[in-house]
Structure 1
Amino acid sequence: MIDVKKEGITKEVVDQWYSEWEVLREQIHVAHNARNGEAKDLMERGIVNFLNFVVGASDIDEYDATADYEVLPINGKERIAFIQAKPGQYACYRQLDELYKETKKRCARLRLKS
């Protein structure tokens, strides 16, 4: 298991990361409703933002899809693989949104633990 870095999950860091997602999430939602084909590119940005956070919050230099991360919620790596496979699908958008929420909560629990 790849351990979390305490400085990578401070409230300020997590809040900044999550606020970036909230802006992107709204854009993705609008793109899905408009069915204008922009959702996939926006989702790919959301995935990159998520993985960059995982790397920054963990004691590693780059994301390894086979590794287990303390910062990820249950089935996190499998869910990321599902999202990466078809980022243009609405179900993947919902799954990514849930991953963001659950990871934010997990970071709060990890801060209390340490």
Structure 2
Amino acid sequence: MKLSQKLIKEKTDPFFNQWTILKEVIENSHRLRDSKGQNAMSNGIILYKNLLQQCDNQVTPLNGQERLMFIEQRPSNYAAFRQLDELFAEMKKLIASKRVQLKRLEE
């Protein structure tokens, strides 16, 4: 399957929709200082890795691997949550940019 087919909205949007739900759970758990967000954070890490696979690891944020290692080492840390949220935001922008580039090449 070509990269352009893997980056279509229908293939990538579910990852971002799921992250929106997980993000709310994690934010609430940090605000309430309970441990319910730990499972959601683990699911968020898996979701991010699946998104990278969907994109064939050809679309990755700057220092993405190092940042992911930081997140995996400290999943209960608020800074790790913020970093994961930033990775998702950057991926969304990078995917949109790549879509535009690929569309221009196809024309």
TM-score by length of 1: 0.83
State the number of aligned residues.
101
Matched residue, 2:84: 96
CA contact (8 A) 1:6 1:57 kept: no
Q: What is the CA–CA distance in structure 2 between the aligned matches of 1:105 and 1:11, rounded to whole Å?
A: 12
Matched, 1:57 2:45: no
CA contact (8 A) 1:43 1:87 kept: yes
Matched residue, 2:10: 12
What percent identity do the matched residue pairs reach?
Answer: 35
Runs of 4+ in 1 over 2 A off after TM superposition: none
Q: What is the CA–CA distance in structure 2 between the aligned matches of 1:23 and 1:98, rounded to whole Å?
A: 15
Matched residue, 2:31: 33
Query: Which structure: larger Rg?
Result: 2
Measure how far apart 1:17 and its partner are: 1.2
Matched residue, 2:45: 47
Name whichever structure is richer in helix by fraction: 2
Q: What is the CA–CA distance in structure 2 between the aligned matches of 1:105 and 1:85, rounded to whole Å?
A: 26
Taking only aligned residues, the RMSD between alpha carbons, in angstroms, comes to 1.3
Measure how far apart 1:19 and its partner are: 0.7
Q: What is the CA–CA distance in structure 1 between the aligned matches of 2:5 and 2:44, rounded to whole Å?
A: 22
Measure how far apart 1:40 and its partner are: 1.8
Q: What is the CA–CA distance in structure 1 between the aligned matches of 2:96 and 2:87, rounded to whole Å?
A: 14
TM-score by length of 2: 0.88
Residue deviations 1:52-100 (CA, integer Å, cap 9, x gap): 1111220xxxxxxxxxx32111111111111001100000000000000
**Structure with bigger RCO (C-alpha 8 Å, 6+ apart):** 1
- Any stretches of 5+ residues in structure 1 without a counterpart? 59-68
